[in-house]
Chain A
């Protein structure tokens, strides 16, 4: 089946630093999604990407859909303590309509 490799698995950074995480796959996806999950809650959609090469921002977050359609990255600029959480990438293909394949997450810790 399809798999997403998400890295790094965890990050410990100082408040104010920038963060970058990425997802790669051997399969092509038509949509890339980035979610944040807080403890005890469901994932919350941060950014959705629908076209290869697309670069989209949402406040301090920026994500790109790789040209090959097999990868995506998420950047967080000037991190703050409330950025703490688990970030997941997810890919959707036309042939698996309705089915998102998730990475295993990047756990972000921000030290004040």
Chain B
């Protein structure tokens, strides 16, 4: 049973370009979460999606960032017009159900390390 898959593992972009990060959840998982991690810091929640729905985007910057989880295919985190401050590791996690007090937990992918030159 493959775990959460993310690609690319490393992504280099110049300022002003677009970055697209992909996440394929574990088989049977319909809930996806994106987190950002700066060096020597913990993970900061960005967005929570179910298939075709954004459930909670309270951690997403208001501009340039968007996320989707289509009916078919991976979840995509899209960053438009990247700036140096966007350089970070972006992690995706998945769970079979929402973490609403149940016994499900999130399983993380290996991350995409974005470097903006």
Contacts and interface: CB of A to CB of B under 8 A. Distances in A.
A98 B33 contact: yes
B56 A98 contact: yes
Interface residues of A, number: 28
Interface in B90-117: 91, 93, 95, 98-101, 103, 105-111, 113
Contacts, number: 83
A41 B111 contact: yes
Interface string B10-44: 00000000000000000000010101000011111
A104 interface: yes
Given A98-B31, A98-B55, A99-B48, A43 B98 contact: no
B100 A94 contact: yes
Q: Which of B42, B55, B91, B103 has the most CB of A within 10 A?
A: B42
A64 to B, nearest CB: 17
B65 interface: no
A103 interface: yes
Interface residues of B, number: 32
A76 interface: no
A41 B110 contact: yes
Given A45-B107, A94-B101, A99 B56 contact: yes
B75 to A, nearest CB: 13
Nearest to B92: A42
Given A40-B111, A97-B55, A97-B101, 15 more contacts: A31-B99, A31-B105, A40-B113, A41-B110, A48-B105, A50-B103, A88-B43, A97-B99, A98-B48, A98-B56, A98-B95, A98-B100, A100-B43, A102-B44, A105-B41
